Structure 1
Amino acid sequence: MLDYLITSKTRVKLILKFFLNVEMKAYLRSLADEFGESTNAVRVELNRLTEAGLLESENEGRTKVYRANRRHALFDDLHSIVKKYIGIDRLIEEVIWKLGNVELALITGDYARGIDSGIIDLVIVGGIDKAYLQGLVEKVEELIHRKIRTLVLSREEFKSLREKFEQEKALIVWGEKGEV
């Protein structure tokens, strides 16, 4: 749907990148490499989004780094649209909400980095019925047209891996960072 509203594929990729995981920061060359596009094509779109106020930039040494502008009037709306486009809203409604004892749920991997690869890596912390989870996941995969890989951790397992998830800038979709 987003592809039909926004005709520039590069712009769509940039909006997904910066508005899916709002902690994401990136610079021109890394974005061009990631998207497999010329730096000029990416630069043009970065400039347009920055001029519109949707992105903000700052210099880190000799590198210009971009990130979503959280103060923009459309920030919450764009963040919501991107989550709906990816299917994260359905994932929360149809899976996490129905599982019961979920203390924390994170998205890791490509989607946490703002890349729409088609596979959502979901980490769930809590005591849940894994067979029931698998049934829910299969239903949601059909709804959102993406595969979902799950990892269920106990509170203790998560505590031992917490630093890894923080380094990966995992996207919290349920619960609070300090809960577990």
Structure 2
Amino acid sequence: MLESLITSKTRLRILVKFFINVANNGYLRGLAEELNESTNSIRKELNNLLESGYLEKESIQNKVIYKANTQHPLFGILQKIVHQHIGLDTIVEMILQRMGAIDKVVIIGDYANGSDSGIIEVVLVGTELNVQYIDQLAIKIEKEIKRKVTFYVDECHNGKGLIIYEAS
């Protein structure tokens, strides 16, 4: 869906990297390695996104670090679009519709770090969760979002990750 709107694959991968999780940042050579692209193509896209105001940069120890500009008027909208592109909204919706005892839903692994590896790792935090039902749900979600989804069930999760739902 988003590929037809944003025709540059490099730009799309950079947007996913920075907008899936506001804590993500990167520098030119690191992004080139991570995305397996030339530094020249990464530099071109970073400059375009920087010029548009979607990214901001900061110099730290002889490195220019890029990150999402959370003050940009379209930041929230772009983040929602990226989450929909990845399928995070569908995951949360399908989980919460059919399970009431969920305390927290956390994305871990590559997607939490902004890499589109094709495998979404999700930690479901709650008590007395039906593991068999979760396995069936994973199959349905995979068909819906066309990505592999791996669920982990835990009673508490204090590790790193992108919290996409937390019960009040």
Correspondence list, 1:52-63, <5 A: 52-63=52-63
Residue of structure 1 aligned with 2:162, choices 158, 171, 175: 171
Residues 1:22 and 2:13 are matched in the alignment: no
Paired residue secondary structure (2:53): coil
Consecutive unaligned residues in structure 2, runs of 5 or more: none
Q: CA deviation at 1:98?
A: 2.2
Aligned residue number for residue 146 of structure 1: 147
Q: CA deviation at 1:154?
A: 1.2
Q: CA deviation at 1:108?
A: 0.5
Consecutive unaligned residues in structure 1, runs of 5 or more: none
Contact 2:123 / 2:153 at 8 angstroms: preserved in 1?
yes
Contact 1:108 / 1:123 at 8 angstroms: preserved in 2?
yes
CA RMSD of aligned residues (A): 1.3
Q: CA-to-partner distance for each residue in 1:39-66, whole Å, 9 max, x for gaps?
A: 1110010011011000001011110001
Paired residue type of 1:173? I
Aligned length: 167
The structure where helix makes up a greater share of residues is: 1
Q: Which moved more, 1:88-97 or 1:31-40?
A: 88-97
Give the TM-score normalised by the residue count of structure 1: 0.89
Contact 1:112 / 1:171 at 8 angstroms: preserved in 2?
yes
Contact 2:92 / 2:105 at 8 angstroms: preserved in 1?
no
Instruction: Supply the distance in 2 between the matched residues of 1:96 and 1:36 (Cα, whole angstroms).
Output: 36
Paired residue secondary structure (1:117): coil
Instruction: Supply the distance in 1 between the matched residues of 2:96 and 2:87 (Cα, whole angstroms).
Output: 13
Correspondence list, 1:151-166, <5 A: 151-155=152-156, 158=157, 162=158, 165-166=159-160
Aligned residue number for residue 78 of structure 1: 78
Residues 1:129 and 2:130 are matched in the alignment: yes
Instruction: Supply the distance in 2 between the matched residues of 1:98 and 1:50 (Cα, whole angstroms).
Output: 42
Instruction: Supply the distance in 1 between the matched residues of 2:91 and 2:98 (Cα, whole angstroms).
Output: 10
Instruction: Supply the distance in 2 between the matched residues of 1:116 and 1:97 (Cα, whole angstroms).
Output: 26
Instruction: Supply the distance in 2 between the matched residues of 1:145 and 1:78 (Cα, whole angstroms).
Output: 21
Correspondence list, 1:27-106, <5 A: 27-106=27-106
Instruction: Supply the distance in 2 between the matched residues of 1:101 and 1:29 (Cα, whole angstroms).
Output: 44
Percent pairwise identity: 43
Q: CA deviation at 1:132?
A: 1.3
Paired residue type of 1:49? L
Residues 1:4 and 2:4 are matched in the alignment: yes
4+ aligned runs moved over 4 Å, structure 1: none
